[in-house]
Amino acid sequence: MKLGDIGEFGFIERIRKRAAAASHLLLGIGDDCAVSRVAPGELLLASTDLLIEDIHFRRGWSDMHTLGRKSVSVNVSDLAAMGGRALNLYLGLGIPADTSVEDLDAFANGVLDACAAYGAVLAGGDTCRSPGPLFISVTVEGSVPEAQLVTRAGARPGDLLWVSGTLGDSALALRELLAGRRPPALLAARHHDPCARLDLGRVLAVQGLATAMIDVSDGLLADLGHILDSSAVGALVERDVLPLSPAFRAALQAEPALLDLALCGGEDYELLFTSPPEKAAAVAALAIEGVPVTQIGCVLPQDHGVRLVDAQGRPCAPPRGGFDHFY
Amino acid sequence: MKLGDIGEFGFIERIRKRAAAASHLLLGIGDDCAVSRVAPGELLLASTDLLIEDIHFRRGWSDMHTLGRKSVSVNVSDLAAMGGRALNLYLGLGIPADTSVEDLDAFANGVLDACAAYGAVLAGGDTCRSPGPLFISVTVEGSVPEAQLVTRAGARPGDLLWVSGTLGDSALALRELLAGRRPPALLAARHHDPCARLDLGRVLAVQGLATAMIDVSDGLLADLGHILDSSAVGALVERDVLPLSPAFRAALQAEPALLDLALCGGEDYELLFTSPPEKAAAVAALAIEGVPVTQIGCVLPQDHGVRLVDAQGRPCAPPRGGFDHFY
């Protein structure tokens, strides 16, 4: 069965029936706007991401349920980076006319399952035919108590620099896929099905542990650069303590230049944050759902720029810059 | 100059510099999420629309500034239909690599100008390259005092049925464009540069005049159907009192079947609403910025369905149904 057989309203109705309710959502899919109540004292957060076929994903590389989950996770990751909780998701879909209803159902179920996992509800969206590739646009709304908001702008010299999880896995998987090879399953999962660190971000915000935070989507050094720009500080990064997965280390042993993927690869969706040194023990003790946090450097005055050093503290040559979709 | 010359971050920086500030917006473009404060007692509204090249627009048909304005107006129209005011806009852009920076600047200026006209600020978004057509995703947030929210669900038998402005102009312009003809300027403007009836929607909500409301985007009868479904009522529509522009009337005289475009054409972005009969004088007196409101029928019990009648009250054959992007 093709999408043309059930039509735009038919597809929306299929999604509407499966969308969850939530106490904050007075009206979801089915009126001109979704209508929500933001709790008193909470700030509203919102972020938009695009996922475009053959730019961000290829349909043969992962199933549609996984793609639906990823579409939500990459967007919710932005809420995590501000310490927020998730409220509503809005989904825009430009769908090639020959797409099967089965694929769309799988995609929608992936979106809905991920929403449920993050405590969000699918509250609205728009669908129409695409004369080109599959276009996915996701906008998420969340909220955070005013005193708990963590921006990119609060890092101070002397703060320690931390990152969650491991780096480079997604970029390494992508490299294998682009080369026509099948990446190891754990790496592939990190690329196709990343997990937004929403719980970790909330804990950091609630406990007041993070002075600045960002999610690593453009690559560690590029996203660190955003914190440094916003906070008007510099940083030292210890190359040899970057957290790497066993699968990544195995590949690295054969090809040392792969370390650049951990520094610049993109799509890690880990949290990169700064924290005062007196809170180091509290941060190190955090391992939400088995995700480690690792100290990878510290914050310096702005005139130091970014200093990448090896285990002996000697400067390392910086790798090629971060990721820009237009290059 | 092509987009590739300035890159994704270069383009975002160009927009960020021109984006307006607003007291409700604590953080706009440049952090992981936009951060806003929703006023106490106000409900949050949000809606998403897609505009895809060669489905919703053709680039040769209107200039990029006008396309930018339209992208905002069609989305803000959903806020108008709930009686809301506009707060934030989020823009997703999938851009063909050969797009000129001049075109993108014109588009962005159109978006920003329309935001300013509606009292909204561009608070965030995402851009990347499109391997297919130009892909535009717009999500708007707004708010409305809780007591003033107007949904599709409040129409009651006996209410009168009203519509703002004139109907069919946009659809007639589109028909001419699709036939390779140049539509009269007033019709073309209605198609390329619609105006969201935000002020009218606010006045209806503030004065408590509307029991149910929707914006006419899929065509009068289709959108009336949404009100009737949500409110569990029927309606009588008087075919011969539909508000038509002089340009539309001129075309209608030569081709009477064109009346179907006023009934089903889509993209009018007028407000269709129901109102208690005792408020008819107050509604009729509304003409916000020269936009008339016209009584075109009344609400009936649900078992009457939709009855389309002529000036003598005789039933008319219903036209072909509304607009569905997948057909």
Cβ contact, residue pair B135, A131, below 8 Å: no
Residue whose structure tokens are 């130091």: A304
Q: Is residue A326 part of a domain?
A: no
Inter-chain touch B54–A9, beta carbons under 8 Å: no
Query: Does A314 map to a domain?
Result: no
Q: Residue A268: which CATH number? A: 3.90.650.10
- Helix ranges restricted to H, chain B: 3-18, 64-80, 101-118, 169-178, 185-192, 198-206, 220-231, 246-254, 259-264, 280-284
Q: Which residues on chain A are in Cβ contact (under 8 Å) with B27?
A: 151
Pairing state between β A25-27 and A34-36: antiparallel
The 10s digit of each residue's pLDDT in B255-266 is 999 999 999 999
Mind telling me how many Å the CA of A254 is from chain B's nearest CA? 34
Residue that terminates a domain, selected from B128, B148, B168:
B148
A136 in any annotated domain? yes
Kindly state the average pLDDT of the residues B218-241.
96
On the question of pLDDT at A321 being above 80, the answer is: no
Tell me the pLDDT band of A320, cut-offs 50, 70 and 90: low
Contacts of A185 (CB under 8 A, 6+ apart): none
3-state secondary structure of A293: strand
Question: Is a pLDDT exceeding 90 seen at residue A262?
Answer: yes
Is residue A54 domain-shared with residue A133, that is, in the same domain?
yes
Q: Which residue has the higher pLDDT, A4 or B45?
A: B45
How far apart, in Å, do the first and last CA atoms of chain B sit?
38
Residue B113 shares a structural domain with residue B185: no
pLDDT at B102 exceeding the cut of 50? yes
Query: Is pLDDT above 90 for B56?
Result: yes
d(C-alpha A49, C-alpha A139), whole Å: 6
pLDDT digits (tens, 9 = 90+) for A148-207: 999 999 999 999 999 999 999 999 999 999 999 999 999 999 999 999 999 999 999 999
The pLDDT score that the predictor gives to residue A281 is 96
User: Pick from A30, A35, A131: which is nearest to B45 by CB?
Assistant: A35
B116 with B169, same domain: the answer is no
State residue A173 phi and psi, 5-degree precision. Answer: -60, -45
A108 and A54 within one domain: yes
Say if the Cβ atoms of A44 and B55 lie within 8 Å: no
Q: Residue A287: inside a domain, yes or no?
A: yes
For residue A321, is it within any domain?
A: no
B-chain residues within 8 Å CB-CB of A128? Answer: 50, 52, 55-56, 325-326
- Identify all chain A residues contacting B37, using CB atoms and an 8 Å cutoff: 43-44
The average confidence (pLDDT) of chain A is 94
Q: Which residues pair with A46 in a beta bridge?
A: A141, B34
DSSP strands (E only) in chain A: 25-27, 34-36, 42-52, 85-96, 121-130, 135-145, 160-164, 212-215, 233-238, 271-275, 293-301, 306-309
Domain assignment present for residue B187? The answer is: yes
**From the annotation, which residues of B make up the binding site?**
32, 47-49, 56, 78, 125-126, 152, 215, 217-218, 267, 323
Q: Looking at residue A323, what is its pLDDT?
A: 43
Structure tokens at B214: 């929707």
Among residues B125, B148, B171, the one where a domain terminates is B148
Give the percent of chain A with pLDDT over 90.
87
Chain A residues with CB inside 8 Å of B149's CB? Answer: 35
**How many separate domains does chain A show?**
2
pLDDT at A95: 94
The three-state DSSP-derived secondary structure of B79-109 is: HHCCCCEEEEEEEEEEEECCCEHHHHHHHHH
CB contacts, 8 Å: A3 with chain B: 326
When mean pLDDT is compared across A13-27, A298-312, B144-158, the lowest value belongs to: A13-27
Q: Chain B residues with CB inside 8 Å of A132's CB?
A: 130-133, 135
For strands A34-36 and B306-309, give the pairing: unpaired
**Residues of A annotated in the binding site, as ranges?**
32, 47-49, 56, 78, 125-126, 152, 215, 217-218, 267, 323
Spatial separation of the C-alpha atoms in residues B64 and B67, rounded to whole Å: 5
CB contact under 8 A, A78 and B33: yes
Q: Which of B3, B33, B142 sits opposite A82 (nearest CB)?
A: B33
Contact status, residue A323 vs residue A261, Cβ threshold 8 Å: no
Task: Please indicate, yes or no, whether residues A78 and A138 belong to a single structural domain of this protein.
Answer: yes
Residue A73 lies in a domain: yes
Q: What is the CA radius of gyration of chain B?
A: 20
Encode pLDDT of A44-87 as tens digits. Answer: 999 999 999 999 999 889 999 999 999 999 999 999 999 999 99
- What is the rounded average pLDDT of the residues A18-47? 94
**In A, which residues are within 8 Å of B218 by CB distance?**
none
pLDDT digits (tens, 9 = 90+) for A213-229: 999 999 999 999 999 99
Distances (CA, A) of A46 to A56, A115, A223, B230: 21, 15, 19, 29
Is the confidence at residue B162, as pLDDT, over 90?
Answer: yes
Query: Are B229 and B126 members of one domain?
Result: no
Of A37, A94, A128, Cβ closest to residue B43: A37
Angle at B37 between CA B116 and CA A223, to 5 degrees: 85
Residues B102 and B174 both lie in one domain: no
How much of chain A, in percent, has pLDDT values that exceed 70? 98
Specify the CATH number for the domain of residue B55. 3.30.1330.10
Percentage of chain B modeled with pLDDT above 70: 98
Interface contact A88-B37, CB threshold 8 A? no
Of the two residues A53 and B289, the one the predictor is more confident about is A53
Q: Is the model's pLDDT at B53 over the cut of 90?
A: yes
Beta-carbon separation of A35 and B52 below 8 A: no
Does pLDDT of A327 surpass 60? no
Q: Which of B215, B259, B261 is nearest to B239 (CA)?
A: B259
- Domain annotation covers residue B154: no
Q: What is the CA radius of gyration of chain A?
A: 20
**Amino acid at the residue B27:** L
* Highest mean pLDDT of the ranges A9-23, A127-141, A277-291: A127-141
CA distances from A122 to A36, A302, B93 (A): 12, 42, 22
Which residues in A lie closer than 8 A to residue B26 (C-beta atoms)?
43
| Distance in Å, alpha carbon of A160 to nearest chain B alpha carbon | 20
Same domain for B136 and B203? no
The reported pLDDT for the residue numbered B326 is: 37
Which residues of B are known binding-site members for substrate? 56, 267, 323
* Same domain membership, residue A212 and residue A120: no
- The chain A residue lying nearest B49, using CA atoms, is A126
Instruction: Let me know: does B271 contact B200? Beta carbons within 8 Å.
Output: yes
Displacement of CA B155 from its chain's centroid (Å): 21
Tell whether the model's pLDDT for residue A92 goes beyond 80. Answer: yes
What crossing angle do the helices spanning B198-206 and B64-80 adopt, rounded to 10°? 10
Contacts 24+ apart (CB under 8 A), B11-15: B11/A326, B11/B101, B11/B104, B11/B127, B12/B125, B12/B127, B14/B105, B14/B108, B15/B108, B15/B112, B15/B122, B15/B125
Contact assignment for B137 to A50 by CB distance below 8 Å? yes
**Residue B327's pLDDT band (boundaries 50, 70, 90)?**
very low
Known binding positions of B for Mg(2+): 32, 47-49, 78, 126, 215, 218
Q: Do B38 and A34 touch (CB under 8 A)?
A: no
> What pLDDT score was predicted for residue B1?
80
The per-residue pLDDT for range B216-226, each reduced to its tens digit, is: 999 999 999 99
Calculate the alpha carbon distances from A120 to A17, A71, B7 in Å.
Answer: 16, 13, 33
The answer to whether A141 touches A46, Cβ cutoff 8 Å, is yes
Which of A32, A45, A82 faces B78 most closely, judged by CB atoms? A32
* Min Cα separation A221/chain B (Å): 15
Phi-psi sector, A184: left (phi>0), alpha (psi -120 to 50), beta: beta
Give the number of A-B residue pairs with CB atoms closer than 8 Å: 240
Q: Are A101 and A232 in the same domain?
A: no
Same domain, B144 and B167: no
Domain that holds residue A242: 160-309
| Total residue count of chain A as it appears in this document | 327
ipTM of predicted complex: 0.94
Same domain as B230, residue B141: no
Residue B11 has a pLDDT of 86
Chain A: nearest CA to B167, how far in angstroms? 19
- Contact between A26 and B36 using a beta-carbon 8 Å cutoff: no
What is the nearest CA distance from A75 to chain B, expressed in angstroms? 10
